[in-house]
Structure 1
């Protein structure tokens, strides 16, 4: 059975995992609370939320199957070696469950709060449909037909990696067009970056303990996730703190339609006479 060689590295690994879990999990709440406080989702890109839900759902499938399924674990050890640790921690599973739940809440907020002219784009709907269709085909082909369950869950991991690489683009582009980050929680980004850095540190610690890079190869989705998250979050931090610091409040006010009461018109008419 695979085991840790250094208890110190193991302790650091578990500690980093739960701190990353807290950082990533808490990162969802500022946006949810901001939407609730404003009763508006103006400034939050709908494509980002939809793609994010697909990303976290597919990542949950990978993490849960890799952590709980003896069949998947046996196939992993046959492929990468019996002494290799399973590259999914309990904190990874807990994070995925929380992420899917909070992203679902955000989807509900898109439906019930003021949204202006925003909607899910045709391209985002097509990408989402293609991702789940491909997952279903792979499930039947590799899973039901050939019982290659490791290949199936790995495919879900690749889906989350692709979704991560594209989900931030609509929001970044929207911020650029509006020259504003209002409506997009910067606290979310700072916590997200912290989670990504700690997740990467976990993989490095495990590789150092095992003296092997199989941990990185066996969970390339987690490696790619950490690097992509840190890259995009750094760009959002640049947008918020450097590029769009002065015009943010003015842009959001102009983005929401102004409602003028009839009493205001009457007041103007009286003053003119």
Structure 2
């Protein structure tokens, strides 16, 4: 068991490192190109919402005695499979997502050329405000429950654990949606130019390591409720890896070596440079 504990710790550090580093290639690529063309703001915008929710929910699972007690009552005495590295990852990811989003919302401050991807899509805005409204509805439902602070009634009644779950599901919803606009942009452009494949490779590696760590933790507890009790962390790795495979297929198979359409987003950069030359 000592070996499994050691592997869990190693996998935890490794997946946090891989996922954390994965947030750097895209903003650095944008800096090198002095443009965000070929990509959309939807991905970093939804990441800001998702990782803010992930940070709040993980902090509650990790630090709150009431939430941990209600979790134990609901899942037969088990403790949440949340580690401090989950908190560190969420905080770091939120910060990097804010930095990346600023490159789209304030391109001139970064010295970037204008890009058609700097405006959020209606889908992203709908998800953004819909998640906020949904969490607010659950929060007021729990607030109206007389058993909200109870651990004995945590199985059958609305308690604060349910509010934390509502916040955590925001990250899951965001993960299901946030990659879709970029997949469509790559398809429309017939190119992955501007979209960093390195971040995808790191994200894929982190997903495998995250699932491996959670599986070990659940095995050590002799109960797979360690996964069913924290479905967001488990789903994050699986959903992300599916999208990662799509991006890798686009980059290495479908659009390998493609520079994209001349009349798409990248043409804005060229047109801007031509005007300065003239």
Q: State if a TM-score over 0.5 links the two structures.
A: yes
With over 3 angstroms needed to count, the CA separation of the structure-2 counterparts of 1:110 and 1:78, relative to structure 1, is same
State whether structure 2 residue 162 is matched by structure 1 residue 151.
yes
SS in 2 for 1:28: coil
Instruction: Find 1:212's aligned residue among 214, 220, 223.
Output: 223
In 2, the alpha carbon distance for the partners of 1:14 and 1:246 equals 39
Q: Which runs of 5+ in 1 are unaligned?
A: 1-5, 265-273
With over 3 angstroms needed to count, the CA separation of the structure-2 counterparts of 1:80 and 1:46, relative to structure 1, is same
Partner of 1:15: 10
In 1, the alpha carbon distance for the partners of 2:164 and 2:33 equals 39
Alpha-carbon RMSD: 1.8
Query: 248-257 or 100-109, which moves further after superposition?
Result: 248-257
Query: 134-143 or 122-131, which moves further after superposition?
Result: 134-143
Partner of 2:197: 186
Q: Which runs of 5+ in 2 are unaligned?
A: 108-112, 150-158
In 2, the alpha carbon distance for the partners of 1:226 and 1:169 equals 16
In 2, the alpha carbon distance for the partners of 1:212 and 1:56 equals 28
In 1, the alpha carbon distance for the partners of 2:255 and 2:137 equals 44
TM-score when normalising by structure 2: 0.87
With over 3 angstroms needed to count, the CA separation of the structure-2 counterparts of 1:253 and 1:133, relative to structure 1, is closer
> What are the superposed Cα offsets for residues 33-77 of structure 1, whole Å, 9 maximum, x if unpaired?
111222211112111222222111111111111011111111111
SS in 2 for 1:182: coil
With over 3 angstroms needed to count, the CA separation of the structure-2 counterparts of 1:257 and 1:67, relative to structure 1, is same
In 1, the alpha carbon distance for the partners of 2:277 and 2:181 equals 40
State whether structure 2 residue 88 is matched by structure 1 residue 77.
no
* 1:9 Cα deviation after fit: 1.1
* 1:250 Cα deviation after fit: 6.2
* 1:122 Cα deviation after fit: 2.0
> What are the superposed Cα offsets for residues 90-111 of structure 1, whole Å, 9 maximum, x if unpaired?
1111100001110011111112
SS in 1 for 2:116: coil
SS in 1 for 2:24: helix
In 2, the alpha carbon distance for the partners of 1:20 and 1:46 equals 25
Higher normalized helix content (fraction of residues): 1
State whether structure 2 residue 253 is matched by structure 1 residue 258.
no
Partner of 1:271: none
State whether structure 2 residue 90 is matched by structure 1 residue 96.
yes
